[in-house]
Amino acid sequence: MIEDLGAPRAVVLLSGGLDSATALAIARAQGFEVHALSFRYGQRHAGEVEAARRVARAQGVAYHRIMSLGLDQVGGSALTADVPVPKGRSEKEIGRGIPVTYVPARNTIFLSFALAWCEVLGARDAFIGVNALDYSGYPDCRPEFIQAFERVAQLATRAAVEEPEPPFRIHAPLIRLTKAEIIRRGAALGVDYALTRSCYDPAPGDEACGLCDACQLRLKGFREAGLPDPVPYRSVPTGA
C-alpha cells in the first residue's frame, strides 16, 4: 500500500545518472509526490542501479521500484551486448550519428512501464531526463519523440476512455538545456551529484572511465558550469 500524501503523484524514470537525478529534483520542486522507477535491463554498467538507489534515498521519494527487464535478450547495443564501448571520441564525433551505445527502443520501453505504473497509481504525470542538446544523438531523446509518446499515453489508458479530457503529460524538463545548465539547475535544487553515475564502462572500483561519450559529456558540463565533478575518474582526457 502506498500512503496518500495528498500531493499529485508522478512517476520519474531514474537511471542513476545526473540528468535523471536532476529531473527527479525538478519533479519534487514542482510539488509532486515522486514514485521513482529504475530498470535492471542487462546493462553492463549495472552500478547505475545502485546510484539510482542512493539518489532516490537522498531526495526522499515515496517509493522506488526497480524492475528487471531482459533487454540483453534483444541485444543490438554496446550497453547490453558484447560490443566495445567507444572511447576518446571528439566532441564533433559525439555529436554526429547514433553510436553503438544506443539501446534499441529503450526510452519507448521505459516510458511504457512508466505509463503502466502511472495508471496503477492514478498518476497523470511522468518525468524523463532526456536531453537533446548535449547528448549522444539517440533518436528517442528528441522533442518530437516525447510528443509522440505523450499522444500514445493520452490514448492508451483507461482514463483515455473513461474520462473526457485526459491531461496525461510526459515531462522532459531538461530537453532543451545544455549539460552545464542542467548541472546548475540541479545544484540550485540541492542535488548531490556525488551520488550519481554516468560512465558507460566503469572500472571495478566504481571509478568512471573518463573517456566514453557519457563521461566526456558530463566532464564538459561540469567544466562549463564552473563546478567540480565530485565522482572519481580513472583518467581524464587532457584539457578536461
Residue ranges in contact with a copy of itself by CB under 8 A: 65, 67-71, 73-76, 97-98, 102-109, 111-113, 115-117, 119-120, 137, 139-140, 142, 144-145, 148-149, 151-158, 160-162
Pairwise CA distance, residues 206 & 218, whole Å? 16
Rounded to whole angstroms, the Cα distance separating 187 from 182 reads 8
Can you tell me the distance from the alpha carbon of 210 to that of 204, in angstroms, rounded to the nearest whole number?
A: 14
Shortest approach of a copy of itself to residue 199 CB, angstroms? 23
CB 31 to a copy of itself: min, Å: 24
Task: Tell me whether residue 47 or residue 76 sits nearer to a copy of itself (CB atom).
Answer: 76
191, 26, 41: which is closest to 125 by C-alpha? 26
The grid coordinates of residue 199 equal 560512465
CB of 191 to a copy of itself, least distance (A): 28
* Closest approach of a copy of itself to the CB of residue 21, in Å: 23
DSSP string, 208-230: B-S-BHHHHHHHHHHHHHT----
216 in Cβ contact with 89 (< 8 Å): yes
Closer residue to a copy of itself (CB): 155 or 188: 155
Output the smallest distance, CB 109 to a copy of itself, in A: 4
What is the distance between the alpha carbons of residues 154 and 149, in angstroms, rounded to a whole number?
Answer: 9
| 8 vs 104 by CB, closer to a copy of itself | 104
State which residue, 99 or 202, has the beta carbon closest to a copy of itself.
99
